[in-house]
Chains A and B, each alone.
Chain A
Amino acid sequence: MGSSTSQLSKELLSEYQELTFLTKQEILLAHKTFIELLPPESQNVVDSLTAQVSRVPTEKVLTLPELKANPFKDRICRVFSTAPEKDSLSFEDFLDLLSVFSDAATPDIKSHYAFRIFDFDDDGTLNKEDLKQLVNRLTGTEEDTQLSPSEMNQLIQNILEESDIDRDGTINLSEFQHVISRSPDFTSSFKIVL
């Protein structure tokens, strides 16, 4: 780790530590991983940190072993990307991603981002279509694991009955966070560590 310590300046490291939940080791490891994803001509420190010059396209990020098997990988990259077309990640986006998925992140921020990941049409609420797509992603694409349409409708009906407190047919962020606060597993399963 000696050589990579000299790559990121101390002020930058402490700034990132202030703005994210990552420790110094984790930030350095993230930088190392990010640099390997960049094309060879921009694999130096200065370029990697300049968002305008070097962004890694989503397809390359999805090759990371931590994300490869995740059914929500495309949504994760989309939510954390700050590019106008939401198709690439800069180093700071990557740090944001790791920060939210780290051990030290608060349950609040995890549930906020989980809501955004599950909101497939990006309209700020989870409506029936979002929930249907969520169920399909969770159960996989094989024949025998998919739910039949009647089962799907029944499931969505039950879920809305349980968690839609204001009965407007959708689940908004507060209702989502209310459900999450009753599930003690969430914080330990919403984790990605390099």
Chain B
Amino acid sequence: MASFYLRQRSAQSDLETPESVSLSEVFWEEEMESLCSSKVALRTLPYAIMDKRLIRDLREPDMVKASFWERWKKKWRQVYQQLLDVGLRLTGTFGLWKPDLYEIGGLFGTGIQSYFTFLRFLLFLNLLTMLLTTSLVLLPLVWLHSPSPGPAPNISYHCPTSRESQLSMNQIHLHLWDVFTGRAFINTYLFYGAYRMGPENDSQYSVRLAYLLSPLTCLFLCFCGTVRRMVKGLLHKQLLSKDYRPRLSGKLFASWDFCIRSREAATIKQHSISNEFKIELQEEQRSHQMQQQSRKQRAQLLLSYVGLNMFIGLLVVGGISAIYWATKFSQNHKDESLSLLLQYLSPGVIALVNSLGPLVFGFLVQLENYPPNTEINLTLFWCVVLKLSSLGMFLFSLRQQAVLCIGRSDLSSCEPHNYNQCDQCWETSVGQELYKLSIFDFFLMLAFAFLVTLPRRLLVDHFSGQFWVWLGREEFLVPKNVLDIVAGQTVTWMGLFYCPLLPLLSSIFIFFTFYVKKYTLFRNCRPSPYLFQASSATFFFQLVLLLGLLVASVPLIYVISSIPASGNCGLFSNYSAPWQVVPEAVAIRLSPAAQKVFYYLSSNVIWYPILILLSLTLTVCISQSSANKKAIKGLRRQLLWQVREKWHLVEDLSQLLQDSRGPDSWGPRSPNSQSSHPRSFCPGFPCPGSPKPRLFTAESTHSQESQAVLTPYGEEAT
């Protein structure tokens, strides 16, 4: 009892009048009663520890009299809580790199921290994919003692023996070179071509089915995980109207990172918050101005916007066709020489296009005078488009080269493409290209970190000329880094079918990328002045990841369902398309009744009821949401009315009290009167910071105002 009551007393001692004490006592008693009777967990109450102890004692006054059952339940709850604590600590997923992430958040804020959290998320995606593939495909394959991986046994053509047998210890360059081009691993489980299996009827477990379904399952699971994470950040986005998204207030109340520990980071954060506010205010003024523009000006603006976008689109198309030609050229001359340029020509061109593109886009967009938010969004959009379409085009051009030769008996038409019969495993060559791209991306990232950023920092620190001051250290641009990592993940997903162990490689690369990026951030970079808020960042990352997933899955589904596999390597050599394994497996393994069910489910007829159900659900959701909107509008109006009514009544009351007592009365005043502060009780009343009632002296204007108050409501309503 003591702490609450004493505090209230001391707070009010200087301003007491009899009415105020009894009023506050009444409130206090009511509050205490409701707290004691509710079953809310103590730790969620917003009071100090000694008050919570008090409430706990009031709730269960006599521990002795508690029944055996109650005590046992309490003990059991404690044990359960302890188990939960231990379990949470042991879940490794949230434990990896946790101290590093805290450190980064403390020094640089949660925006940059979200990039590193995203890296961790991708690492786990890749490890899970790897786990799935290994357990479904590799282990059964090895366990079932299938023929060991090796070149195809029944080559009837004259082929030179494989080059690996000619290597000797002297040719160490060739050895290392083979690792980088993937040739050293051609006959291992890394690539598609090495998987072999007897006919379907022979074994219980269909490795073919597993091999086919595991990339599809992985992609589907990644899709679900990404969408789930994306929805969490959806509230922040412009999809919702102004009523639902208090943008400025959210920025004001929620933008400070309380985990920042260093003075410099705090200063930088303050700068960026200030910039944001100024930009928002400018944008608002700008939109006011724009609304007052004439139609002609608006048309001009729209035209210039469309023109700019078309021009950038043309540039993107130009970049992509460069990639196409480069890939075609390098594929045509693939085996002629081992020169560095040819082997890595396509990854090189992709990297070049993707680094020049953003610079050009940024420059062009800045020529027009757009508000900063639009500039950033536009540049980002085109960068994403460029990156993903370059990967898509790369895959497409690979397929053009590789697929043209499959399944043909006369090989003369393949000669121009230098596609001799011993190399007829086009899936392996596609896998090789993707493997090379993956390795190239990783080494490019390392090269940039150690050969560009580090020297730049050293030079800027040691020299003090005008140029060096202008150059400065490199900025850590979160969007650019995210795009790079998403591109790498897209390549991994593209290669799931051709190169099943690629996720393992990818996980190793991501693991090292984390540490390299952390080193770069801490030592060689300065944070960018543009704040990248964590929630919008999460949404953006997941969206780009989804787009990458789409770019990866569409070709995969096309290849699986329509393109015949190569004739003498891999698991699907005798099928017209890899997907044909599924009907065959169904025919072999399921009973006739189950087969019938399966055919029914996979036919087109099943989609009609599903479609009807979906449209019904959608209609219900939409009508519910519009009904909710109307209800919210009505409730807001009601709230406004009731608050005004409350203050009118309060003024009436104070007027009456004043009339009955004379000039030295007190009373609360409405917020619209000139000289008072509005007051309210905080809903957690009584609480240690609860408001004190204030004494107001009556003023001469008060009588005039009260006249105004007594007018009927009709004139006051909005």
Contacts and interface: CB of A to CB of B under 8 A. Distances in A.
Interface in B274-312: 274, 277-278, 281, 284
B465 interface: no
A66 B261 contact: yes
Nearest to B233: A184
A94 to B, nearest CB: 10
Nearest to B234: A184
Interface string B77-97: 010010001000100000000
Given A70-B260, A122-B691, A179 B679 contact: no
Contacts of A51: 50
Interface string B659-686: 0000000000001100001111111100
A124 B270 contact: no
A108 B277 CA distance: 26
Nearest to B636: A165
A115 B684 CA distance: 12
A139 interface: yes
A93 B110 CA distance: 27
Contacts of A65: 261
Nearest to B52: A19
Given A112-B46, A140-B270, A101 B258 contact: yes
Interface in A84-108: 84, 92-93, 95-96, 99, 101, 106, 108
Contact of A18 (B42, B45, B245, B677): B42
B596 interface: no
Interface in A115-139: 115-116, 118-119, 122-125, 127, 131, 134-135, 138-139
Interface stretch (A1-9, A37-45, A152-160): A152-160
A192 interface: yes
Interface in B349-396: none
B401 interface: no
A15 to B, nearest CB: 8
Interface string B621-639: 0000000000000001001
Contacts of A122: 689, 691
A173 to B, nearest CB: 5
B49 A19 contact: yes
A122 B10 CA distance: 15
B49 A135 contact: no
A137 to B, nearest CB: 8
B277 A139 contact: yes
Given A19-B53, A138-B273, A162-B246, A184 B535 contact: yes
B42 to A, nearest CB: 6
A127 B671 CA distance: 10
A114 B255 CA distance: 12
A150 B86 CA distance: 54
Contacts of B657: none
B258 A191 contact: yes
B43 A159 contact: no
A158 B248 contact: yes
A189 B254 contact: yes
B261 to A, nearest CB: 5
Contacts of A60: none
Given A167-B640, A173-B683, A190 B266 contact: no
A106 B46 CA distance: 11
Given A140-B271, A179-B246, A189-B257, A124 B680 contact: yes
Contacts of B677: 123, 127
A109 interface: yes
A50 interface: no
B48 A124 contact: no
B253 interface: yes
A170 interface: yes
Nearest to B266: A69
A159 B248 contact: yes
B37 interface: no
Interface size range of chain A in the complex: 35 or more
B267 interface: yes
B254 A180 contact: yes
B256 interface: yes
B10 A84 contact: yes
A123 B680 CA distance: 8
A146 B110 CA distance: 23
Contacts of A118: 253
B679 A125 contact: yes
A58 interface: no
B521 to A, nearest CB: 18
Instruction: Report which residue of A21, A69, A112, A190 has the largest number of chain B beta carbons within 10 angstroms of its beta carbon.
Output: A69
Given A79-B689, A124-B682, A182-B245, A109 B260 contact: no
A191 B257 CA distance: 8
B409 interface: no
B78 A14 contact: yes
B674 to A, nearest CB: 12
A185 B534 contact: yes
A184 B236 CA distance: 7
Contacts of B271: 140, 145
A135 B256 CA distance: 11
Contacts of A180: 250, 253-254
A182 B250 contact: yes
B556 interface: no
Contacts of B636: 165
Contacts of B681: 124
Contacts of B258: 70, 72, 101, 189-192
B277 A69 contact: no
Contacts of A123: 677, 679, 691
B254 A183 contact: yes
A165 B3 CA distance: 35
Nearest to A92: B49
A174 interface: yes
B166 interface: no
B48 A185 contact: no
A65 B262 CA distance: 8
A113 B639 CA distance: 25
A188 interface: yes
Contacts of B534: 185, 188-189
A99 B43 contact: yes
Contacts of B277: 135, 139, 147, 151, 155
A166 interface: yes
Contacts of B284: 154, 158
Contacts of A106: 44
B163 to A, nearest CB: 54
Given A135-B252, A183-B250, 7 more contacts: A19-B52, A112-B684, A125-B679, A184-B535, A190-B258, A192-B258, A192-B259
10 contacts: A18-B43, A69-B260, A70-B258, A72-B258, A139-B273, A145-B271, A166-B639, A166-B643, A173-B683, A182-B250
Interface of B: 3, 10, 42-46, 48-50, 52-53, 56, 78, 81, 85, 89, 102, 110, 232-233, 235-236, 242, 244-250, 252-263, 265-267, 270-271, 273-274, 277-278, 281, 284, 533-535, 636, 639-640, 642-644, 647, 671-672, 677-684, 688-691
